[in-house]
Amino acid sequence: MLTNEWLYWLIGAFFIGVAVHILNNPENPRRIASGTFWGLLGVSFGYGTFVQSKQAPAWILGIVVLVMVALAGFGLTARSPEKTTTPGERADSARRFGNKLFIPALLVPVVTVLVATVGPLITIGGTPLLADGSATLTGLGVSAIIAVVVAVLILRPPSLGTPLHESGRLLEAIGWAALLPQMLSTLGILFTQAGVGKAVGTIAGWVLPEGSLFAAVVVYAVGMAVFTIIMGNAFAAFPIMTAAVGWPVLVQTFGGNPAAVFAIGMLSGFCGTLATPMAANFNLVPAALLEMKDKYGPIKAQLPTAGLLLLVNVGIMYFVAF
Amino acid sequence: MFALIGVALVIVGFALRINPLLVVTVAGIATAAIAGIGPVEILDAFGTGFAGSRSVTTFVIVLPVIGLIERYGLQDQAKHLIGKLSKLTTGRLLAAYLFIRQVTAAVGLNSIGGPAQTVRPLVYPMAEGAAVQKYGDLPEKMTEKIKGHAAGADNVGVFFGEDIFVAIGSILLITSFVDTTYNLTLEPLALALWAIPTGVAALLIHGTRLLLLDRQLSRMAFLPAPPKGLARVDE
């Protein structure tokens, strides 16, 4: 059975490729530290396979993660100067290739959908080809490979290293934000182990007026949003706020429908995700990829929607879950 | 109560604009140390946390193909193509993308879009192309606004679509957490159904805002802001 691990190894190899590219680039002002950062990230993607299957100790990866945090966090890394085609060259080549340029771009979603829908149906000798829940990511990996091959065949770039060079440019623009989501998921684990949920529950007990369902709904929904803003991830906020308010107050005391309370609680957390730079992969990475001057631009565009939807969630939970 | 020191550290660190990677790491270590978790266990948590969340970073795998076709003028071609369709305004295009993104995510196809997969190569250049067609050369203020909304439409669509699909991470996280912690047996389908009202509200609210974006852009294009000196006199 195929799991997602092959894709993590491919991504690891890609990071190492970018690292080698940076190490060989004398124009990068801090090529050793920058190359080391991406190289370690690549190695960690492969080593992570053995941590997941408990064949290798996790603390070694923990040390490597802390080294990467130090390299990027203390500003020891730097971006290489951008080297790509000029706007004029791009306009010329757009005229030359025309709509053929869309073929590789559209292959990505089309092949992903195909693999995600057809993949789970394939069985070999009675066992399914793809492990449970791995079809979409497998599709993404397969589509990316097919698309890059097709793009090279259509465009005939000067060397096979060109895709690596061009993606290194995009990856360096993202920089340390690539590591933040994974750090936040660790923070969530540590917070839960340390009993942050219980502490928040104690405080919520002081704040909540006795017997007010509406106040409890507001504290749960708004608390989900606030903790998501702090921790960058609704998944990390959910165990904390559910242990504090969702389960003991909303379900046990007020007899709420657990499915409705928890589903709408999670969606209240998503309102927080729209509003926080901690959710780097959703808010900072797009700003970097779109080369925005204001790295909070996506958040500013999302903020009014996030506020209104949080109100809607409070309303829905109050009126339908009890 | 001391467990909350980590939460305070995150807030303070962010307010002081310290690199978030450092803030998060220090907050995690401090919280764990206060709770009496040993150094090896803390390192273990960083290792398993990293290994278990590698899927967040899978979007980078499409960067080689996106970078390559951009080098050959993909964004130019997207702008050019959209320039031919005069009825397609920036707001309408982004609202249509929001709808497609949400519906596809609701049937489990949440990886087909994303900032690297669709927003940078296709959605943003098309949205900008529609605006260029209408207003001519755009000032930076307008391109920034369009970029922000292109990224925003993708996020709102996927966030409030994916929870309607039963086998998505957030639904499975809810069921696995509450089932093991509180001995419940929640059906993923029941959770997914309760995500529909908020999903519809998200489409209506954000869709309306995107359609109104056209008016905002028109104001920005036709009524340039008064020079700064003048504005200050008015106040």
* Closest C-alpha to B67, from A313, A170, A12, A144: A170
Domain count for chain B, please give it.
Answer: 2
Contact criterion met (CB below 8 Å) for B134 and B189: no
Structural domain includes residue B205: yes
pLDDT average, residue stretch B103-125: 86
In B22-88, beta strands by DSSP E: none
- Write down the pLDDT at residue A127: 83
B233 has pLDDT over 50? no
B117 has pLDDT over 90? no
- Write down the pLDDT at residue B225: 57
Structural domain includes residue B114: yes
* Closest C-alpha to A128, from A113, A140, A138, A143: A138
* Same domain for B48 and B105: no
* Same domain for B46 and B69: no
Inter-chain touch B58–A169, beta carbons under 8 Å:
no
Structural domain includes residue B233: no
Structural domain includes residue B232: no
SS3 (DSSP) at A127: strand
Interface of B with A in 48-77 (CB under 8 A): 48-77
Domain, as residue range, for B86: 59-226
Where residue A200 falls (left for φ over 0; alpha for ψ -120 to 50; beta otherwise) is alpha
Interface of A with B in 12-51 (CB under 8 A): 14-15, 44-45, 47-49, 51
* Closest C-alpha to B192, from B65, B74, B81, B107: B107
Task: Check CB contact of B202 with chain A, cutoff 8 Å.
Answer: yes
pLDDT average, residue stretch B135-160: 95
B232 has pLDDT over 60? no
Structural domain includes residue B234: no
B61 has pLDDT over 60? yes
- Write down the pLDDT at residue B224: 62
pLDDT average, residue stretch B13-33: 91
Give residue B234's pLDDT band: very low, low, confident or very high (50, 70, 90): very low
Task: Check CB contact of B81 with chain A, cutoff 8 Å.
Answer: yes
Task: Check CB contact of A302 with chain B, cutoff 8 Å.
Answer: yes
What one-letter code names the amino acid at B60?
Answer: V
Contact criterion met (CB below 8 Å) for B214 and B91: yes
Inter-chain touch B58–A148, beta carbons under 8 Å:
no
Task: Check CB contact of B189 with chain A, cutoff 8 Å.
Answer: no
* Same domain for B209 and B107: yes
Task: Check CB contact of A76 with chain B, cutoff 8 Å.
Answer: no
- Write down the pLDDT at residue B230: 47
Task: Check CB contact of A241 with chain B, cutoff 8 Å.
Answer: no
Inter-chain touch A48–B197, beta carbons under 8 Å:
no
Mean pLDDT is highest, among A130-144, B18-32, B198-212, B221-235, for: B198-212
B79-103 per-position pLDDT tens digit: 888 877 778 899 999 999 999 999 9
* Same domain for B116 and B46: no
- Write down the pLDDT at residue B83: 78
SS3 (DSSP) at A130: strand
How big, in percent rounded to 5, are the helix, strand and coil portions of chain B?
Answer: 80, 0, 20
* Same domain for B110 and B12: no
> What are the structure tokens assigned to A123, written together?
């069985």
Which residues, listed in sequence order, are joined to residue A2 by a DSSP beta bridge?
A130
B173-215 per-position pLDDT tens digit: 888 888 888 888 888 888 889 999 999 999 999 999 999 999 9
Task: Check CB contact of B180 with chain A, cutoff 8 Å.
Answer: no
Least CA distance to B9: which residue of chain A?
A230
Angle between the N-to-C axes of helices B74-83 and A87-97, in degrees from 0 to 180, rounded to the nearest 10: 60
Structural domain includes residue B231: no
Residues in chain A within 8 Å Cβ distance of B11: 230
DSSP element (H, E) containing A230? helix A213-231
Least CA distance to B6: which residue of chain A?
A191
Structural domain includes residue B154: yes
Structural domain includes residue B22: yes
* Same domain for B98 and B198: yes
The residue count for chain B: 235
A49-91 per-position pLDDT tens digit: 999 999 999 999 999 999 999 999 998 998 888 888 888 899 8
* Same domain for B47 and B77: no
Where residue B139 falls (left for φ over 0; alpha for ψ -120 to 50; beta otherwise) is beta
Task: Check CB contact of B206 with chain A, cutoff 8 Å.
Answer: yes
Query: Would you kindly state where each structural domain of chain A is located, as residue ranges?
Result: 5-73, 87-174, 180-320
Residue in B7, B160, B178 closest to A270 by CB: B160
Residue with tokens 């929607």: A305
Q: Output the average pLDDT for chain B.
A: 87
Residues in chain A within 8 Å Cβ distance of B66: 105, 167, 170
pLDDT tens-digit profile, chain A (322 residues): 778 899 999 999 999 999 999 999 889 899 999 999 999 999 999 999 999 999 999 999 999 999 999 999 998 998 888 888 888 899 899 999 988 998 998 898 888 888 888 888 888 888 888 877 677 788 889 999 999 999 999 999 988 888 888 888 889 888 888 888 888 878 888 888 888 888 888 888 888 887 899 999 999 999 999 999 998 889 889 988 998 999 999 999 999 999 999 999 999 999 999 999 989 889 999 999 999 999 999 999 999 999 999 999 999 999 999 9
Task: Check CB contact of A289 with chain B, cutoff 8 Å.
Answer: yes
Contact criterion met (CB below 8 Å) for A158 and A24: no
> What are the structure tokens assigned to A116, written together?
């995600």
A18-59 per-position pLDDT tens digit: 999 999 988 989 999 999 999 999 999 999 999 999 999 999
* Same domain for B85 and B24: no
Inter-chain touch A270–B159, beta carbons under 8 Å:
yes
* Closest C-alpha to A147, from A198, A110, A175: A110
Residues in chain B within 8 Å Cβ distance of A133: 167
- Write down the pLDDT at residue B228: 52
Residue in A4, A14, A170 closest to B66 by CB: A170
Give residue B167's pLDDT band: very low, low, confident or very high (50, 70, 90): low
Task: Check CB contact of B42 with chain A, cutoff 8 Å.
Answer: yes
- Write down the pLDDT at residue B231: 45
Inter-chain touch B194–A264, beta carbons under 8 Å:
yes
Give residue B226's pLDDT band: very low, low, confident or very high (50, 70, 90): low
Which residues, listed in sequence order, are joined to residue A127 by a DSSP beta bridge?
A124
Contact criterion met (CB below 8 Å) for B109 and A136: yes
- Write down the pLDDT at residue B84: 79
* Same domain for B143 and B222: yes
Mean pLDDT is highest, among A92-96, B28-32, B151-155, for: B151-155
- Write down the pLDDT at residue A272: 97
Inter-chain touch B59–A116, beta carbons under 8 Å:
no
Query: Could you tell me what percent of chain B has a pLDDT over 70?
Result: 94
Least CA distance to B167: which residue of chain A?
A133
Q: Output the average pLDDT for chain A.
A: 91
d(CA A22, CA A39): 10
